[in-house]
Chain A
């Protein structure tokens, strides 16, 4: 204890212990090494794919929402065909399709994938850990209002809570309502109030 002058108990281990890595983690490494050995992919291609994945963050989705709030023709294109419209941002959905669902005074949308963890990764990046856990996945379709309340969002009873269970090739993105008091903000200022959770539908944007 304190052999080199400070205590290590006040934070989580910096690196996971290799001995506890799971079967599937090891399987992934083995397949990756085989693909490289056989010349099917190169380590550089894998690194670039990871860099591309990491380059997509909720800020990407926030810029799309802010544009929809400030450009009604774009908003229409986005709601009509999300996959096509995000091409204007240089993005594409790969093998999936983007469906953008609009919050209105009558409908509040919320996204879940009860079967696994389908998520609009090409516009929001990687999903948060809670999105993938069983508790959120089970409760979002069973008692969505209680889940929303735990996120700090009380939806009035007369508003329909519409939960989208992503069961197939569609990926859902919530277009939140632009809050009052943001009339003077430009698109880049608006994007700053659009958080990841607003686009999953467990929160709503607030005027700064």
Chain B
């Protein structure tokens, strides 16, 4: 968890359901995707939301998911994808 993922790395979103202000959509939890870019370090929204300083900053990654991996019955094109921005502590290397 929280490794330094270079673009192209396959990752899985933690399948976890903590309470609080979580910016990782539930429909992605436990799903596999590929890191497409490293977006920088940002204050952690989960602690910012409860009046703390958001430190230490978390690395934010853009992760690309195949629609077919998100929704087994996806009816669109086979190449369709969803990109989302996910903080490092929500990603596990596969």
Contacts and interface: CB of A to CB of B under 8 A. Distances in A.
B75 A143 contact: yes
A143 B24 CA distance: 20
Given A141-B82, A144-B80, A162-B80, A168 B27 contact: no
A164 B27 CA distance: 14
A167 B76 contact: no
B47 interface: no
B39 A167 contact: no
Contacts of B23: 115, 167-168
A145 interface: yes
A99 to B, nearest CB: 8
A158 B77 CA distance: 7
A168 B45 contact: yes
B83 interface: yes
A163 B82 contact: yes
Contact of A168 (B60, B76, B79, B80): B60
A145 B42 contact: no
Given A114-B25, A115-B23, A161-B76, A168 B81 contact: no
B89 to A, nearest CB: 13
Q: How large is the interface on A (under 10, 10 to 19, 20 to 34, 35 or more residues)?
A: 20 to 34
A206 to B, nearest CB: 23
Contacts of B62: 170
B92 interface: no
Given A141-B70, A169-B42, A169-B85, 12 more contacts: A114-B25, A115-B23, A141-B82, A160-B80, A162-B80, A162-B82, A163-B81, A167-B24, A168-B86, A169-B60, A170-B62, A170-B85
Interface of B: 23-25, 27, 39-40, 42, 45, 60, 62, 64, 70-71, 74-87
21 contacts: A97-B39, A143-B75, A144-B80, A145-B75, A145-B77, A157-B76, A158-B79, A159-B77, A160-B77, A160-B79, A160-B81, A161-B77, A162-B81, A162-B82, A162-B83, A167-B24, A167-B86, A168-B23, A168-B60, A168-B85, A170-B60
Q: Closest 7 CB pairs between A and B?
A: A168-B85, A160-B79, A165-B84, A145-B76, A161-B80, A157-B77, A163-B82
